[in-house]
């Protein structure tokens, strides 16, 4: 029951520091020169937008099959082997072709068996009864690619949203192929939907110069529409990607000095620079299409080799479109398109109503607890109330320090924490009552009451702490907010109950030396 000056100063110092950290949440402009931190309000309190997006996993299979078909062509040609009618089938996840001659079948199988696999046993190569050769993607490889694509999509979505300046977006995975995006404070998510709905997969491909292919594209050539309506009919573009947009290192929106229009500049890394230089040196005089999400932005003629690794795209952009395209190119291309499955918008007025309801419930619960403790335990009840108020202040201070996002479940967690804190004080006061009833002196009763209640309080809070830590680790969204506030509340409860309330009782006893205890 002895408190040294250092221990006394430490306990009071923690309480004062907590009060100081709480202040910015109640001030509109708290001393701008200092790096204050505040609690952010979640979607249900602040209002905003909720988007449920689905990753198009079928396009992943289509893209991989197209790459596998290109690799098959290159491998056969390098081995001086021919082929006929090479086709892809996304439903069966296969690439098939007929050998140029039946005598080359074994050589085809040997050459294709050496194709690199993204993952072990990604695909098999087999001869069919009709003489064709089929490459089949394994279901396990497709599932692994889907999991990787969703994880990659979440990271790219996060980078794109962060670049727009949205505060505290919540991006989580749901199921095998869905992503939940919560945007507090964003009441009109149309720009966000456009950013996330655009795959931003940029490729650079040569245009087929044969005029006969402008209406009927042969295998290996696709008729791609122009990105801007009215720019002309679809262009016959080779499926083979000469330069991939994944090799971009930077992109920015600028105003073209010659035309005065908005344009997007880009810079390649060493791999992209080499590929861009090689293709432009070998194809001077030919059209080179810049393709974004299977639409041709522009297809300029290569006037001279471009060896610097820099380029510029002009496609009738305005400032917003040029900025968004540069943002998407910097953030990276999505591995597959995202489609909006569900959209909800919560207005600021509904968020304000939620705040009022949450604050009312918190205040009412706090008042009832204070009255209960004061009526049942007298002076020691009021000391418990002071510790309870300090508990609430410390919870808000820690949430502010980490700039946590507060939601309605989080507010419920705070109210539940106050109830748990009261339980701890009740245990101490009841233990002291029991010791007084046994005839102990006031100091001995306080000493024994605290000692016997402490182990029970620590054990019960430790088990609750472990449970809520696991809930925070494995939970998502509102569940994590609830678990976070409870976890912080358990730590502050132990501090205020075992140190602050004891400090108040000890100082009162040291000053008054009572002959009986007010419990």
Q: Are 417 and 389 in contact (CB under 8 A)?
A: no
| Two tokens, residue 342 | 């569900």
Mean pLDDT (whole number) for 473-500: 86
Mean pLDDT (whole number) for 195-221: 83
Task: Give dist(CA 300, CA 315) in Å, integer.
Answer: 11
Please state, for a pLDDT cut of 90, what percent of the chain lies above it.
7
Pick the CATH number of 57-142 from 1.10.260, 2.40.128, 3.30.1360, 3.10.450: 3.30.1360
More confident residue, 36 or 157: 157
| pLDDT bracket for residue 491 (50, 70, 90) | very high
Helical axes 442-474 vs 478-495, angle rounded to 10°: 160
pTM of the complete model: 0.60
CATH code given to domain 5-47+349-512:
1.20.1640.10
Would the pLDDT of 492 be above 90? yes
Q: What is the pLDDT of residues 287-311, one digit of tens each?
A: 988 888 888 888 888 888 878 878 7
* Three-class DSSP category at 445: helix
Q: What is the pLDDT of residue 230?
A: 67
Please state, for a pLDDT cut of 70, what percent of the chain lies above it.
95
Would the pLDDT of 33 be above 60? no
Q: What is the pLDDT of residue 394?
A: 92
Domains 57-142 and 198-344 share a fold: yes
Would the pLDDT of 438 be above 80? yes
Would the pLDDT of 413 be above 90? no
| pLDDT bracket for residue 347 (50, 70, 90) | low
List the alpha helices (DSSP H) in 135-289: 139-163, 190-197, 270-282
Q: What is the pLDDT of residue 251?
A: 83
Mean pLDDT (whole number) for 173-188: 81
Q: What is the pLDDT of residues 97-109, one digit of tens each?
A: 998 888 888 898 8
198-344 carries CATH number 3.20.20.70: no
Q: Are 387 and 394 in contact (CB under 8 A)?
A: no
Q: What is the pLDDT of residue 242?
A: 85
Within 8 A by CB and 6+ apart from 75, the residues are 111, 112, 114, 115
Q: Are 264 and 250 in contact (CB under 8 A)?
A: no
Number of Cβ atoms within 10 Å of the Cβ of 433: 16
Q: What is the pLDDT of residue 454?
A: 87
Mean pLDDT (whole number) for 279-290: 88
* Three-class DSSP category at 410: helix
Largest CA distance in the chain: 110
Q: Where are the domains of the chain?
A: 5-47+349-512, 57-142, 198-344
Would the pLDDT of 512 be above 70? yes
> Closest by alpha carbon to 140, among 164, 165, 157, 123?
123
Mean pLDDT (whole number) for 333-348: 78
In order of 24, 30, 420, the CA distances from 33 in angstroms are: 13, 9, 38
Phi, psi angles (nearest 5°) of residue 243: -135, 130
């Amino acid at each position: 029951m002895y408190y040294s000056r250092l221990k006394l100063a430490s306990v009071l110092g923690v309480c004062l520091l907590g009060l100081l950290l709480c202040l910015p949440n109640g001030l509109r402009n708290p001393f701008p020169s200092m790096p204050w931190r505040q609690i952010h309000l979640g979607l249900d309190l602040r209002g905003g937008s909720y988007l449920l997006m689905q990753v198009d996993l079928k396009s992943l299979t289509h893209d991989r099959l197209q790459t596998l078909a290109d690799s098959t062509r290159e491998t056969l040609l390098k081995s001086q082997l021919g082929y006929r009618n090479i086709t892809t089938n996304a439903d069966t996840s296969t690439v098939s072709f007929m050998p140029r001659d039946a005598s080359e079948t074994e050589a085809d199988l040997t050459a294709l068996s050496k194709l690199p696999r993204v993952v072990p046993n990604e695909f098999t190569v087999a001869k069919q009864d009709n003489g064709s050769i089929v490459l089949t993607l394994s279901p396990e490889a497709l599932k692994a690619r889907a999991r990787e694509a969703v994880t990659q999509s979440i990271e790219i979505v996060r980078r794109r949203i962060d670049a727009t300046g949205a505060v505290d977006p919540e991006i989580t995975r749901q199921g095998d192929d869905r992503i939940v995006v919560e945007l507090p404070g964003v009441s009109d998510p149309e720009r966000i939907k456009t950013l996330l709905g655009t795959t931003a997969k940029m490729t650079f491909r040569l245009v087929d110069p044969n005029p006969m292919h402008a209406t009927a594209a042969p295998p290996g050539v696709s008729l791609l529409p122009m990105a801007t309506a009215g720019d002309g009919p679809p262009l016959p573009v080779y499926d083979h990607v000469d330069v991939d947009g994944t090799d971009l290192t930077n992109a920015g929106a600028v105003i073209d000095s010659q035309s005065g229009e908005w344009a997007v500049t880009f810079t390649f890394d060493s791999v992209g620079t080499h590929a861009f230089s090689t293709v432009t040196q070998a194809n001077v005089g030919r059209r080179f299409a810049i393709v974004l999400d299977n639409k041709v932005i522009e297809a300029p003629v290569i006037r001279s080799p471009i060896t610097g690794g820099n380029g510029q795209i002009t496609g009738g952009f305005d400032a917003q479109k040029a900025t968004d395209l540069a943002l998407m190119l910097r953030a990276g291309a999505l591995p597959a398109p995202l489609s909006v499955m569900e959209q909800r918008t919560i207005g600021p007025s509904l968020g304000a109503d939620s705040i009022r309801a949450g604050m009312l419930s918190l205040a009412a619960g706090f008042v009832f607890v204070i009255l209960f403790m004061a009526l049942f335990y007298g002076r020691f009840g009021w000391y418990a109330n002071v510790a309870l108020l300090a508990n609430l202040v410390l919870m808000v201070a820690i949430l502010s320090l980490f700039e946590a996002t507060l939601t309605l479940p989080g507010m419920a967690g705070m109210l539940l924490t106050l109830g748990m804190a009261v339980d701890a004080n009740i245990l101490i006061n009841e233990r002291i009552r029991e010791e007084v009833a046994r005839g102990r002196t006031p100091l001995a009763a306080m000493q024994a009451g605290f000692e016997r209640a402490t182990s029970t309080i620590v054990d019960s809070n430790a088990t609750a702490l472990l449970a809520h830590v696991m809930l925070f680790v494995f939970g998502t969204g509102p569940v994590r907010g609830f678990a976070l506030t409870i976890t912080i509340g358990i730590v502050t409860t132990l501090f205020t109950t075992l140190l602050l309330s004891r400090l108040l009782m000890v100082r009162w006893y040291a000053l008054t030396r009572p002959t009986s205890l007010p419990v």
